Every structure is written in structure tokens, then in C-alpha cells.
Amino acid sequence: MTPDAGIVLKLIEAFRWSNAMFTATSLGVFDLLAAQELATADGIAAMLHTHRDATELLLDACVALQLLEKSNGGYRNTAAANRFLLRDSPDTLTGYILYSHAALVPMWSHLEDAVREGSHRWTQTFGPERELFAHFFKTDESMRTFLRGMHGLGMLGSPMVAAAHDLSSFRRMVDLGGATGHLAVEVKRRYPGMSCAVFDLARVTGVAQEFVDSTGLEIELISGDFFRDALPAADLFAVGRIFHDWSDATVVELLGKMHSALPDGGGVLICERVLEADKTGPLSGLMQSLNMLVVTEGKERNEAEYAALLGAAGFGDVVLRRTEGPLDAILARKQSRG
């Protein structure tokens, strides 16, 4: 059979698709159209202060990407754009899109150097001020936009993670680095009798309060740094999209701290995309692993690698549950060292 060039051509174009969406989001196209029944390219360009013909090129591309609809020469948002691309939507992904546009795209341009050297590209891309997410935490508004995007991303997976294991034997869950509390909220909804809390930086918990209050659920918000501060009392710690940021040594260090804080039989719930045993899939996990190479000290791992890290820190009874969402769920129990 003659090889088909389709996959190669699709990959050549893929970055153009994402950059068209990133640019339209950054310019505010979708937010503008949320308030318009139908707007022309002339009107949109005037309101955005952009070049008229170039704006039309971008708008038509977004139509082809199924983010906009075109009718009688005017444009409107699709349902997907209204749900996921408006800054004030409860399910917005705008914060993560803006982060991708401003930080990930420049760093990914240095992927070849990352592969040669085995290290992230923050310094190469942004200079010595390379603190993770620093740009998006410079102001309260930029931090809120970023966290709203991460909240929307989290809500795509948290309901399935909360349902993946039977957590009824636990009395109190603390989500370490739990951001806006999306996982704690879903666990509380599923287990009303469980006490649930979020432990994150003070600036984050201040924003998280808005999200938690909107649910009407009782979720405790505790300010602190899980690397520097004592961990709150709990018999279940959750960590979502945390371990993939860090090296094996740092993960074992944090797991050891959790082990010391838990009672015997206490649990840790790890929420990450878990790679297949031979690491040939899933595609989303492999792409995220490259992303971790470019951005952090970490990577995505398979079940055996997580089991080894957990075992090194004193955890056993490791059970993986795969979900149909963006994250899988690993539950492990503290083993007594005595």
C-alpha cells in the first residue's frame, strides 16, 4: 500500500489551527461576539482596532475551525465558543489558552534544545526570571484569568476522577495544590458526609473562595505551600496535575511528607494522565510529557513508575482507574513502617 501523506500534512498545519484560536482569543473576538447577534468583519475590525482584511482572514479561519458561524456576511460564536472561549463562562478555557499563547508556544519553539539538553526552556525563552506561571500571577486580574482557565480544564476531568474509586472509607480529603477546588467540590457532591478542603497558596485560595461560594458546598480553604509548610490533617490527600511537574526525587520527597502526615491506612489520590505500560500512548499523555520537558522538571509516567515512587515513600495497595476524561486516578494506601 502506498503511504498516505495525510498525517504528515495534518501535522504540518496543526500549529496553524491552534495559533488561529489563540490569536482570536487573545484579541477578544469571542468575547466581542458574545454581545453581538451578528457582526461583520468591518464592524469587528473597527471594535478591535485591527486591520480589516487581515481580520476577515482570521474570522473565516475560525469558521473553518468550527469556532464561528458565518451568515449573510456576518459572524457569530458557535455553542462551543460560547461555552469554552468566553472569559466569563463558568467552563472557560481562556486562561489556559492565553497561557499557551504567551508562554507555551515560545518555549515549544525550543523543543529541539530541550531534547538535546534534557531541561526546560524557561531561561532560554524568558531570561533569568523563569518562575513558573510568574507572568500570569503578576496582577490579581491575570491570576484570576489563568485560574478560571485551569478551573475549566479541571472541570473536564474532576467529575470522572471523583467517581473512579470508592472513597467512602475516608473522612477528610485535602486537595494539595487544589486551585479553585473543582476536585474537592466533585468529591463533596459524591460523598456529602466527607470533609473536603483545598490547600494552596494564599493568593490562590483568595480567588478559589469565589468558585467555592458559588457551589453552596462547605469546602474549607487553607493557605500554605505544600513544600514548605506542615500539611493539614487528613486521611486522604489528593494531588492533581502536580507530580508531572516534578522530578522523581521531588515526587518521592512530597509523597514522604504526605506519608508522615497520614494515619495508617490513609490514602493518596493521584490525578494525572497515566501512560500505557509501553509508553506508546495515549497521544494526549505523550504530548503533555513533552510539554513537561519544555516547561518543568517533570514528565508523565506509567502505572509501574507511579507504583515505584509510591512504594519508595511507603505506600502500597496501588490501584489505577482509567477514565474517559483527561485525567486518570491512582489510589494508594499508607503502609505502616513499624
Using one digit for the tens of pLDDT, what is the confidence trace for 253-277?
Answer: 999 999 999 999 999 999 999 999 9
Q: Is the dihedral of CA 95, 158, 174, 261 positive or negative?
A: negative
Fold of 6-84: Arc Repressor Mutant, subunit A (1.10.10)
The rounded distance, in Å, linking the Cα atoms of 146 and 7 is 33
pLDDT of the residue at 275: 98
pLDDT confidence tier of residue 136, bands split at 50, 70 and 90: low
Q: Could you report how far apart the first and last alpha carbons of the chain are, in Å?
A: 62
List Cβ<8 Å contacts ≥24 apart for 247-251: 247/297, 247/298, 248/309, 250/297, 251/298, 251/309
Domain with CATH 1.10.10.10 in the chain: 6-84
pLDDT tens digits for range 98-123: 989 988 999 999 999 999 999 999 89
The rounded distance, in Å, linking the Cα atoms of 204 and 137 is 10
The rounded distance, in Å, linking the Cα atoms of 225 and 24 is 36
The rounded distance, in Å, linking the Cα atoms of 220 and 257 is 21
Q: Which positions ≥6 away from 38 have C-beta within 8 Å?
A: 71, 72, 74, 75, 76
Question: Which one, of 111, 211, 103, 193, lies nearest residue 154 by Cα?
Answer: 211
pLDDT tens digits for range 201-211: 999 998 899 89
Residue 190 has pLDDT above 60, yes or no: yes
Q: Give yes or no for a contact between 158 and 108, defined as CB atoms under 8 angstroms apart.
A: no
- Going through the chain in order, the beta strands assigned E by DSSP cover 39-40, 68-71, 74-77, 172-176, 195-200, 219-223, 236-240, 267-272, 315-321, 328-334
Please provide the DSSP assignment of 186-206 as one string: HHHHH-TTSEEEEEE-HHHHH
Question: Which one, of 156, 103, 210, 211, lies nearest residue 324 by Cα?
Answer: 156
Query: Global pTM?
Result: 0.92
Chain centroid to Cα 57, Å, comes to 30
Q: Give yes or no for a contact between 42 and 52, defined as CB atoms under 8 angstroms apart.
A: yes
Fold of 157-278+293-334: Rossmann fold (3.40.50)
pLDDT of the residue at 338: 54
Taking each continuous run of H as one helix and of E as one strand, the counts in the chain are 16, 10
What's the whole-number mean pLDDT along residues 55-81? 97
Domain with CATH 3.40.50.150 in the chain: 157-278+293-334
Residues designated as active site: 244
Question: Which one, of 77, 53, 60, lies nearest residue 20 by Cα?
Answer: 60
